[in-house]
Structure formats: C-alpha cells, structure tokens
Amino acid sequence: MTTGAEALVQTLADCGVAACFANPGTSEMHLVTALDREPRIRSVLCLFEGVATGAADGYARIAGKPAMTLLHLGSGLTNAGANLHNARRARSPMVNVIGDHATYHLEYDAPLTSDIEALAKPNAIWTGRVEKASVGGERAAQAWLASQRNGGGPVALLLPADSAWDGGGLTAASATPDRWSAPDAGKVEAVAKRLKAAKKPCILINGTATIGDGLVAAGRLEAAGVKVFTDTFVWRQERGAGRYAPQRLGYFGEMALAELDGCDLMVLAGTQKPAAFFAYPGKPSLLIPEGCDAVDLATAVEDAGAALALLADAIGAPAAGPVSVRQVYPAPSGALSPADVGASLTRHMPAGSIIADDGVTAGLPIFTLTAGAEQHDWLFLTGGAIGIGMPLALGAAVAAPERKVICLSGDGAGMYTNQALWTMAREKLDVLTIVFANRSYRILNIEMARTGAGNPGPTASSMLSLDNPPIDWVKLAEAQGVTAARCERAEDFDTICARMLAMKGPTLIEAVC
Amino acid sequence: MTTGAEALVQTLADCGVAACFANPGTSEMHLVTALDREPRIRSVLCLFEGVATGAADGYARIAGKPAMTLLHLGSGLTNAGANLHNARRARSPMVNVIGDHATYHLEYDAPLTSDIEALAKPNAIWTGRVEKASVGGERAAQAWLASQRNGGGPVALLLPADSAWDGGGLTAASATPDRWSAPDAGKVEAVAKRLKAAKKPCILINGTATIGDGLVAAGRLEAAGVKVFTDTFVWRQERGAGRYAPQRLGYFGEMALAELDGCDLMVLAGTQKPAAFFAYPGKPSLLIPEGCDAVDLATAVEDAGAALALLADAIGAPAAGPVSVRQVYPAPSGALSPADVGASLTRHMPAGSIIADDGVTAGLPIFTLTAGAEQHDWLFLTGGAIGIGMPLALGAAVAAPERKVICLSGDGAGMYTNQALWTMAREKLDVLTIVFANRSYRILNIEMARTGAGNPGPTASSMLSLDNPPIDWVKLAEAQGVTAARCERAEDFDTICARMLAMKGPTLIEAVC
C-alpha cells in the first residue's frame, strides 16, 4: 500500500528534490514516516519555520532547484511567512508542503484550524491541495513544475492528514520546466537601437544577468560604454577576482539618483523600474532621473542574461569586459569595524565561498571591499524582511557541502531566527556566522532622521536600542552547539576569522563594532 | 500640528490603552516618536513580532483590556501570525497597528511591499486602514471598539507612512463596549428544563464561566448534580485553594469520551461542541458520546458566566459549590519529573501568581497537582501554536507587575520565541520560566504511535528529537540577561524554585526531565 504522503514524497524525489527543511506536527506524522523511507531526500529539522523557508531559499539560490519544506498547519505557515516573502522576491523555487487537518475534521473547528489557503496565497506563486491520496503524486509534480515557472518562486501544497495516510497513493512523473522565458528578439533589437541613440545609457540588472554568461555579457556592455548597475538587492551575484563587478545601485534614493544622474536611457534586464526601499516625506519614490526613459529588455520572468548576450552582439560590444583583480588588504588593526571584517575576508575567505548577507548597515562596506576577494557568490536580502541570514546560510551549506558559507548578520536581524544555529550544529554545516553586535537597530537610527520623525526622546531611542541588556552571542551560539568567540579588535578578528575559516563545521564570531 | 500617528496614539491612550508591544521599522518611525510623546502608554520592545502579539495576548487575558502592538509591514505581521492565531482562539482583544508604505509608494512595488490586508484577515476579527492623517483617531477608536466586541479578539489597523507623518490628525473618543452579549433568558429557561429531564447531564465551560462569578456559578451547578467540565484549553482559569475546580476535558479524544461516557445532555457555556485536537485514522472527531444531546446555553460571544448564574438560580442549585482545599505536597526528591515541579509549586508559589502554560506534555501533571495551591490564574495555549509561553508570561507581567508570573515551557516550544527572554530582562519583569528539557518534541513521539504512522525509522526519530546537540537553556537565558540554573534532581529544583520565586525579576530553570 502506498499512502498519499508516500506518493507525494516519492514523486518529489523522482523530480529531483534532495532536501526537506522541516518542522513537523501531529498532522504531518505520515509525511515524516514517508520521508523516513525516502533516502534520496535529506531531512533537516528546523526549530522554527522561518528557518525552514529561509533555508529552502538559500538552497534554491545555490542548487538552482527547489527544496521541499514541511510546515505544520496554518501556524507553521505563518511562522514561515517572512522568509517566504523574501523568497518570493528572490524568485526562489521551493515546494512548501503544509499539513492540514483531515478533510472531515475541518468542520469541527479544532483549535489549530485556520484558513491555510488564504494565509498562503500572498506569498505563493501557486497553491494546490491534495484532495485525496490518489492525487498525492500528481499534485506534487504540479507543485514542482509551478515552482520553477515564470522565474520561479515558492508554491504552497496543502496535504490534509487523511490524504496523507490513506492508501491508493499514485506517483507521477514530471520534467523540469524552463524556469525563464527565452529572450524576446524584438525587444533586443529595439533596445539595441535605443542604445545607439542614447547619450548616457545605463542598464539595471538582476535575475540571470548577475551570474554566469549573463554577468559576462553585462561586462561586455560596460566595455561598450553602457553603465551597468545591479539592483540594490540581487538574488545571487557571482563576484571576486576575474569576474565583472557591476556597480550596485545605492540603497538610499538620493544616492541612487546621484549615481544615475544624467542618464537618458535605462534598460531593465531581469528587473523592474527601481524604487526607493521606503518612502520619505518630500522625496521621490521612483529612482529614475528626470529625462531618462526606462525601456524593458527582459522582465524578471525572462532570461535576462541571454538577452544581454544578444544585445551585446547586436551592438557589437567587445568580446570581453572588465574584471576585478585580486586584492588582498593588509591585516587590519585597532577597534574593529565592518570594513576590517571586509579586509579580513579578502585575506582568508577561500575560493568558492558563499556569503549570505543579512548584515544591514554592516553589509555594504564588506560588499565593497570584497570585489577583489577570491571568487564567491553573494546572496542578498531580497525582500527586506530581516532574519534571513542564518537560515539562508544554512540552506546554502546543505546545497553545497564542499563550499564554505559565511553569514553576515546584524544583531537585531540575527535574533529573529537565531534557532538556525542549532540546525547548523546538528547538521555539522560548514558555516561561519559573523554577527555585528552594534547593539542597536542601527539602520533605524539613520532612518529616524531621514524620515523626519523628529529627534527621538527617551522612549524612541530606547525602541531602537539593543544594549540593555547586551546580547551575549557567544553564549547564544554555544547554547545551541556552535563554537563561538567575541572580537572587539581588528587584529583579533583577523586571527580568529582565519582560524574559523580553516575549520570545518559551524562557528560564530560576535564582531563588536 | 498633530500627525496622524499622534492622533492614533493619543486616541488609544484616551481609550485606555496602557501598553504597546513593538518591533518597529522605517515605515513606523513617526509612530515611534508619537509613542515617545505619550507617557500613558508603556512601550515594550520585542525582538520578534511573535513575542509582541503573544505578550499582548497575555496582557489582555490579565488586564481585561487590549494592548497595542506595533508591527512592521506585512513581514512583521506574518512573524506575529502564530500568536495572533492563538489570541484569536483565546478571544483576546488587541489592537495591532501595522505600518504600511506611504499610499503613493505602493505602486512601485518596493521590496517590502505585500498584501497586508490579505495577510491580516485570517487572524483578525476586524481590519481597518488609516487612509489619511485626519482619520487616525477615528480609526483607532473603531479598532479599540472592534477588538472588544463579540467576546473580543485581535484587530488589524494599517497605518500607511504618509497617514502617519501628515499633519491634520484628529483624535476621537470612544467608550468601552460590552465585550460579551447578555445571556439569553430563553436559552436559560430551555436549558433548565432539559437539565431537570436529563439522567446524566454535563456542562462544558469556557469564556466568562472560568473566572469570577461565572466559576462560582459553575460550582453551584456541580453541587446540584451537573458534572462540569472545562474545555481542554481555556483562555484563563482562576484556580487554587478556596476556588471551584471543574474537571478539565482530556486532551486525547478517547480520554474525553471516557470521561463523558453515559452523559445524555451536554450544555455548552461559552464554547462550542468539543472536537479532538487532531484527527486520527478511525477515531471520532466530535467528542460527544452517542445518545448525548448538545444544547447551547451561551456561545463564546455571550456572557457564559452570567448565564450559568441564571441557570443555577433557575434549577434551585445550592448557594455555594465545592472548592479546592489548600494542599501542600512534601518536598520532592529523586530524578526530577514534571510532577515534582507541580509539587514544588504547591509549596512555594505565592498567592496571586499567574501561570502561562506552554508546557505541552509536562503541563498536565502540574495543572493537576496545583488545584490546591495558593490562588492563581492559569493561562492556556488556546490555539495549539506552540511558542506562546514566554511571550504570554511577558505580557501578563506587564499587566500585573505586582504578581509573580510562572512560565511553563517545553524546550521545543520555547525555542520558537526564546527572544522573549531578552525583553523580560530589559523590562525587569517578575517571571520565572521553567523549561522542560526533555530534548524532544515528546508529544510527537506519542502522536506518531497514535496516528498509526508506523514505527519511526532513523530519519523520523531524528525529526522528533532535540538531543543532538542538547540545547543549553542556562546559556541561552544568560545570553539574554536572564539569571538561570539547571536542575536534574527534584530536591535541587525545590530549593532553587523557592529561591527564584522569592526573588524579583526574570529567572529561568532548565528542568531536565
């Protein structure tokens, strides 16, 4: 007898799913035993559902395919929600399997009953339900497909307990779809014409244009005199020595507009018109200078990288663009700063590293300094919901066990999902987490002034401060089985960072700066 | 100039709101400064939004009125969601103020944009939006009212950033509504008739029937020969020596049905027909024995306690019912068990304590043993979403600073919202948290067998286990500024529990059992 749960799990494994980030409950027990019988899927227990979805996001960005998550009813799904929002913005494919009460049990409105579909829809690009055991495989295959269409994204598949435990489950087969649409030759031709006519054109990239051949093509366009920017927050960017380093559009609107000043044409490749992260009184929301036309080369659901390659050919761009040169900064010293962390990473970070960036104010100087580090991938906070760093790193490490993963996290951001440390320890994942212990929501101290909300009095100041009591990240990590150290001096950080990067397994540095 | 945010905050303070559990972001900076200028509201920073809503729930259950929460956009709201689900099930009034992007900014689909209304609706009994600054007060007054109607519950009030910062804000006044409808005399009369004719009647209570005069009336009915049960999970129950202790309906369906065996009439007072927490293959969902009629005396939106008093009069019940006698257990010894924790609480827990129970498998023996403890309030996990204990305790302690609060938490449950410990330390709240470190989702080991999901293999067993690595709760608490100790022996627990209960301020015991 094959249960509905077994058909679902086996179908996903047949499709190619190799990891499941899970936080199960009673209604998912048959799913748990189905996973027990499926050696092709690595089951990873997470102590909070936001860890599970953040991990599936990091997994998808590195593995290029969806992981499964296992979430307990509507409450598990809502706990998972902020990182589902981020994943939707990153267009990360993932198959979220959400248990539901048995179909016949719903009418009794038991305590955990909720409207799971309604909760799922805002952050899912597809939702489905296993109405009965026999469609377990079919729905799983549909979910697999749906998560990888239109650029990709999270899908929600509801599995009622009786559909899970009933027999008669049937598996289904599915091919892997094309995740992005092919470039539109007409748009390429039209943009090529506009580029030739423009005085100061620029291109804004994301999607497949920030990795592989797409990034190479972007460099060729830069060499042809087109200024290339990335979105401020990109799903994944290949970086380091020997790779093209496009300029990152500034976070604050006035910075972005200054960078774009004088541009008369903005080509959008794998993204949409740039907008300020937040609105501010009297400041523009749309970050396109006056007199600049925005034209669409490829939307986020199209293969922007391939479109850039066609465009580079169409305008006769050089065969190769500029690339970063290897740059090793001297050993830093003095009171530790985020820039010192960046300098140390150029010195010690091994080739092939993955950086999961939830560093908030600390992230930018490190990003800037590591342009000439060994080759690495940078994963960004795409949706602005802090608390993604450690989960993202966790998932990336499961996707690429042979690569070193470095998590940059603010202290405020890290507290949201600190439970990820436990899973890192349990799974012995090769992640170095660097927590920037500035003991405040520092970004909000900046934003308080920028929004013109007035000088903060004692209550307002206190609402942005994390210094009373200071959080002891060394103890917090050790409590969850992760080796940790605190650094206040740059020279200490440089030594300890080098040592931890040379170790295998999870480590954490509380960087007091 | 009064901003929309100021009008909103001032109106809520005028209504009687005295606490705000907050996790702000950029879009809420004007709300933060408005709170800065409002001394009548105590602003309490939470490092995760689920802590804020769990705290507002605990606050409402003890203070009997709503607190405000301040949540950052859709992502903050989803993080808050599981404890909003619990609060909805507890019918706890709370005014959740959720920041949104400025109205004119939404069209640009900035990274944090989401459909906040859609995310809010499943767990809100009312939603509203401050469309412009001038209605800030009016909407706040509406939210205050709506949260306390029909028994009460969480409401969601969206505050766009421009409505917050624009001038022209107008305050509004509001009375406090009747939270429950008056009892229905017709139903009382009909139920009285049915009771007289029944052979073995029982009453199932919740709502206002588990505190104050309602509980006294329930005791009178017991004295008149009507077996009284509470729902398995009640929003709040007054307990201890000198108070009536109705029987708690068993958690597992077969236990509940055995307890109800032979009943021919079930009167529902402040609740609905009892259902099994989960469905199990081949087992009933509805927990009403065959041949037993369920009749409605008062729904959850009616004043069930008042209805019970009328019913007791109508059937000529004695003027007083049975009450618990003070019972002090001897000092426990040996390897620590949850029952030993219960015994120690009967010895040391001061009168007026509040217990926030997220103890999962450990909670029941302690509940049973403390029937004869000093008088106290017990707050239950109403919605089944674990991770409520510490937030609930936090909010109760803000509502009643003169009372000792005791949090019972599973280790799995506690990890969801462990950030609550930091806020307890920051606010110097008088909470003793007892974490049951059984290093597993123990309830799921029981449920695995009950659902017939089969014998767990290594993967399944591992998915229910928290022992690798064991979580060091002493370090986790100390990392967040909370004094902590670990106990493995009952005699040590008894000593340390006595000492910590005599202290003021937050403490934690890791109870290894």
Separation of alpha carbons B405 and B186, rounded Å: 41
Core vs surface per residue B310-326: b (16+ CB within 10 A) or e: bbbebbebeeebeebee
C-alpha closest to that of B189 among B297, B305, B319: B297
> What pLDDT is recorded for position B452?
87
ipTM over 0.85: yes
* B457–A33 CB contact, under 8 Å: yes
Say if residue B92 is in the same domain as residue B132: yes
> What pLDDT is recorded for position B488?
97
Give the 3-state secondary structure of residue A181: strand
Give the residue carrying structure tokens 């804020």.
B52
**Contact B425/A at CB under 8 A:** yes
- Shortest distance between the Cα of A347 and any Cα of chain B, in A, equals 31
C-alpha closest to that of B14 among B175, B179, B130: B175
Q: Are B456 and A30 in contact (CB under 8 A)?
A: no
The CATH number of residue A210's host domain is 3.40.50.1220
* A122–B104 CB contact, under 8 Å: no
Residues on chain A touching B510 (C-beta within 8 angstroms): none
> What pLDDT is recorded for position B54?
98
Q: Is residue A20 part of a domain?
A: yes
More confident residue, A461 or B64: B64
Give the 3-state secondary structure of residue B432: strand
In sequence order, what E strands does A323-418 have?
353-358, 376-379, 405-410
The total of structural domains in chain A comes to 3
Using 50, 70 and 90 to split pLDDT, how confident is the model at B445? Answer: confident
- The model's pTM: 0.98
Say if residue B292 is in the same domain as residue B370: no
Separation of alpha carbons A19 and A8, rounded Å: 14
**Contact B4/A at CB under 8 A:** no
Q: Which residues pair with B436 in a beta bridge?
A: B410, B511
Q: Please, which residues 29-68 of chain A have a Cβ atom closer than 8 Å to chain B?
A: 29-30, 32-33, 35-37, 43, 45, 47-48, 50
> What pLDDT is recorded for position A445?
86
pLDDT value at B78 more than 90: yes
**Contact A127/B at CB under 8 A:** no
CA torsion, points B48, B52, B58, B64, in degrees to nearest 10?
Answer: 180
Using 50, 70 and 90 to split pLDDT, how confident is the model at B455? Answer: confident
Dihedrals phi, psi of B491, to nearest 5 degrees:
-65, -35
Using 50, 70 and 90 to split pLDDT, how confident is the model at B317? Answer: very high
Instruction: Report, in this order, helix, strand and coil percent for chain A, each rounded to 5.
Output: 40, 20, 40
Q: What is the CA radius of gyration of chain A?
A: 23
> What pLDDT is recorded for position B456?
84
Residues on chain B touching A97 (C-beta within 8 angstroms): none
Residues on chain A touching B471 (C-beta within 8 angstroms): 422, 479-481
Q: What are A266-313's pLDDT values in tens digits? A: 999 999 999 999 999 999 999 999 999 999 999 999 999 999 999 999
Q: What are B340-387's pLDDT values in tens digits? A: 999 999 999 999 999 999 998 899 999 999 999 999 999 999 999 999
In this complex, the residue of A84, A275, A463 whose CB is nearest that of residue B22 is A463
- Shortest distance between the Cα of B314 and any Cα of chain A, in A, equals 31
**Contact B239/A at CB under 8 A:** no
> What pLDDT is recorded for position B251?
95
Separation of alpha carbons B237 and B136, rounded Å: 36
C-alpha closest to that of A273 among A209, A204, A334, A186: A204
Say if residue A146 is in the same domain as residue A21: yes
Q: Is residue B333 part of a domain?
A: no
Q: In what order do the strands lie in the sheet with A293-298?
A: A247-248, A227-230, A201-205, A265-269, A293-298
Q: Are A508 and A338 in contact (CB under 8 A)?
A: no
pLDDT value at B449 more than 90: no
* B475–A475 CB contact, under 8 Å: yes
User: Six-digit token pair at A300?
Assistant: 């986020």
pLDDT value at B3 more than 90: yes
* Residues 6 or more apart in contact with residue B502 via CB below 8 angstroms: B348
* B112–A469 CB contact, under 8 Å: no
C-alpha closest to that of A247 among A143, A380, A368, A133: A368
Q: Is residue A479 part of a domain?
A: yes
Give the 3-state secondary structure of residue B445: helix
* B35–A460 CB contact, under 8 Å: yes
Give the 3-state secondary structure of residue B47: coil
- Shortest distance between the Cα of A48 and any Cα of chain B, in A, equals 5
> What pLDDT is recorded for position A55?
98
Please say which residue of A275, A298, A314 terminates a domain.
Answer: A314
Name the closest residue on chain B to residue A22, using Cα atoms. B463
> What pLDDT is recorded for position B374?
98
In this complex, the residue of A104, A459, A479 whose CB is nearest that of residue B43 is A459
**Contact B117/A at CB under 8 A:** no
DSSP A70-123: EE-HHHHHHHTHHHHHHHHHHT--EEEEEEE--GGGGGG--TT---HHHHHGGG
In this complex, the residue of A78, A121, A279 whose CB is nearest that of residue B85 is A78
**Contact A415/B at CB under 8 A:** yes
The CATH number of residue A85's host domain is 3.40.50.970
Q: Which residues pair with B509 in a beta bridge?
A: B434, B485
Q: CA–CA distance from A259 to each of A294, A450, B200 (Å)?
A: 16, 19, 81
- Shortest distance between the Cα of A148 and any Cα of chain B, in A, equals 21
Residues on chain A touching B35 (C-beta within 8 angstroms): 459-460, 463
Name the closest residue on chain A to residue B46, using Cα atoms. A463
> What pLDDT is recorded for position A458?
86
Separation of alpha carbons B107 and A279, rounded Å: 12
**Contact B79/A at CB under 8 A:** yes
**Contact A278/B at CB under 8 A:** yes
- Average pLDDT in the B99-105 region? 98
Name the closest residue on chain A to residue B164, using Cα atoms. A453
- Shortest distance between the Cα of B321 and any Cα of chain A, in A, equals 30
Neighbour tally for A261: CB within 10 Å: 11
* A466–B47 CB contact, under 8 Å: yes
**Contact A110/B at CB under 8 A:** yes
Q: Which domain holds residue A13?
A: 4-165
Say if residue A252 is in the same domain as residue A359: no
Say if residue B285 is in the same domain as residue B407: no
Within chain A, which residues score under 50 in pLDDT?
none
CA torsion, points A52, A56, A57, A60, in degrees to nearest 10?
Answer: 170
**Contact B284/A at CB under 8 A:** no
Please say which residue of A136, A165, A194 terminates a domain.
Answer: A165
In this complex, the residue of B29, B45, B448 whose CB is nearest that of residue A447 is B29
- Shortest distance between the Cα of A232 and any Cα of chain B, in A, equals 10
Say if residue A41 is in the same domain as residue A82: yes
Say if residue A55 is in the same domain as residue A105: yes
Q: Is residue B83 part of a domain?
A: yes
- Shortest distance between the Cα of B319 and any Cα of chain A, in A, equals 34
User: Six-digit token pair at B351?
Assistant: 């009168």
- Shortest distance between the Cα of B286 and any Cα of chain A, in A, equals 7
Distance of CA B407 to the CA centre of its chain: 12
Separation of alpha carbons A97 and A128, rounded Å: 10
Say if residue A210 is in the same domain as residue A279: yes
Please say which residue of A299, A314, A329 terminates a domain.
Answer: A314
Q: Which residues pair with B99 in a beta bridge?
A: B159
> CA geometry: angle at B260 spanning B254 and B262, to 5°?
115
Q: Is residue B178 part of a domain?
A: no
Measured in Å, how far apart are chain A's first and last C-alpha atoms? 59
Say if residue A342 is in the same domain as residue A484: yes
Residues on chain A touching B463 (C-beta within 8 angstroms): 22, 24, 32, 35, 43, 45
Say if residue B161 is in the same domain as residue B210: no
* B471–A26 CB contact, under 8 Å: no
Q: What is the CA radius of gyration of chain B?
A: 23
Q: Is residue A329 part of a domain?
A: no
> What pLDDT is recorded for position A77?
98
Q: What are B244-298's pLDDT values in tens digits? A: 999 999 999 999 999 999 999 999 999 999 999 999 999 999 999 999 999 999 9
* B109–A275 CB contact, under 8 Å: yes
User: Six-digit token pair at A513?
Assistant: 């700066």
**Contact A442/B at CB under 8 A:** no
Q: Are A203 and A221 in contact (CB under 8 A)?
A: yes
DSSP A315-337: TT--S----PPP--PPPP-SB--
Give the residue carrying structure tokens 């007035």.
A454
Say if residue B270 is in the same domain as residue B129: no
**Contacts across the A-B interface (CB distance below 8 Å):** 312
> What pLDDT is recorded for position A460?
87
Best of A3, A91, A114, A272 to disrupt the B interface (most B CBs within 10 Å) is A114
- Shortest distance between the Cα of B444 and any Cα of chain A, in A, equals 6
Q: What are B464-498's pLDDT values in tens digits? A: 999 999 999 999 999 999 999 999 999 999 999 99
User: Six-digit token pair at A51?
Assistant: 């860890």
Say if residue A284 is in the same domain as residue A348: no
> What pLDDT is recorded for position B12?
98
Length of chain B measured in residues: 513
| Torsion over CA: A125, A131, A137, A138 (sign) | negative
Core vs surface per residue A64-77: b (16+ CB within 10 A) or e: ebbbbbbbbbbbbb
* B36–A275 CB contact, under 8 Å: no
Amino acid residing at B47: L
**Contact B233/A at CB under 8 A:** yes
Q: Are B420 and B59 in contact (CB under 8 A)?
A: no
Separation of alpha carbons A188 and A194, rounded Å: 10
Q: Please, which residues 175-204 of chain A have a Cβ atom closer than 8 Å to chain B?
A: none
> What pLDDT is recorded for position B466?
92
C-alpha closest to that of B384 among B86, B77, B105, B78: B86
Q: Is residue B266 part of a domain?
A: yes
- Average pLDDT in the B183-211 region? 98
Residues on chain B touching A101 (C-beta within 8 angstroms): 278-279
| Torsion over CA: B180, B185, B186, B190 (sign) | positive
Q: Is residue A331 part of a domain?
A: no
Q: What are A420-469's pLDDT values in tens digits? A: 999 999 999 999 999 999 988 888 888 888 888 888 888 888 889 999 99
- Average pLDDT in the B47-69 region? 98
